[in-house]
Amino acid sequence: MLLGVQLILPYGQPAAEVSILAPRRPHLIRIPALPEYAAILQAPLFAPDRRPGEAAAPGAGPLSAWSALGTATGGRVASVVLSGPAGVVKTVQRGEDVEGWRLVAVEKTRAVFERAGQKRELTVGAPAEAVADPKAAPAAAAVDQ
């Protein structure tokens, strides 16, 4: 009977050997800050004409510290990805505020912000100092869907 039980029951695994070494601590991966290359700003990748936007007028306001990295529209949602001071990246949907400026229109290559009746435009791919005044060019309608 003992022989039958031994054949039916599986053999146990040998006990794991006890190591005298301490377990390794995980190493944190540190990603260095990427340098800004002037050549990239001279020919922005996502601008249709591969040229940077117009330079901002002095005193354009705190929105001049932000630049538009890209836009996205679909269904009833329209948003813009912004890069701000100290490398902050923020996604803003139509109707939300950035430093008191409300996003009112999103298009393929630009985002239009409004505050107290004043409008500012961020062109995708333009450096942070390039905030164009939409009064200089005809403003396009907001994306309606």
State residue 33's pLDDT score.
Answer: 77
CA angle 19, 21, 23 (to 5 degrees): 100
State residue 145's pLDDT score.
Answer: 37
Residue 111: partners with Cβ closer than 8 Å, 6 or more residues away: 68, 71, 80, 82, 92, 103, 105, 121, 122, 124
Q: Is the pLDDT of residue 57 over 70?
A: no
The verdict on residue 60 lying in a domain is yes
The verdict on residue 23 lying in a domain is no
| Identity of the residue numbered 109 | T
- Residue 60: which CATH number? 2.30.30.830
State residue 144's pLDDT score.
Answer: 39
Q: Distance (Å, rounded) from C-alpha 140 to C-alpha 97?
A: 20
State residue 114's pLDDT score.
Answer: 93
Q: What is the mean pLDDT of the chain?
A: 75
103's tokens:
């996003």
Q: Which of 69, 89, 91, 88 is nearest to 78 (CA)?
A: 91
Residue 5: its H or E element: helix 2-8
pTM over 0.85: no
The verdict on residue 114 lying in a domain is yes
The verdict on residue 33 lying in a domain is no
The verdict on residue 17 lying in a domain is no
Q: Is the pLDDT of residue 77 over 70?
A: yes
The verdict on residue 6 lying in a domain is no
Question: Containing domain of residue 80, as a range?
Answer: 39-132
Q: Distance (Å, rounded) from C-alpha 142 to C-alpha 145?
A: 10
Q: Is the pLDDT of residue 59 over 60?
A: no
The verdict on residue 4 lying in a domain is no
Q: What is the DSSP string of 71-104?
A: EEEETTEEEEEEE-GGG-EEEEETT-EETTEEEE
Q: Specify the number of domains making up the chain.
A: 1
Averaged pLDDT for residues 97-117: 91
| Identity of the residue numbered 127 | P
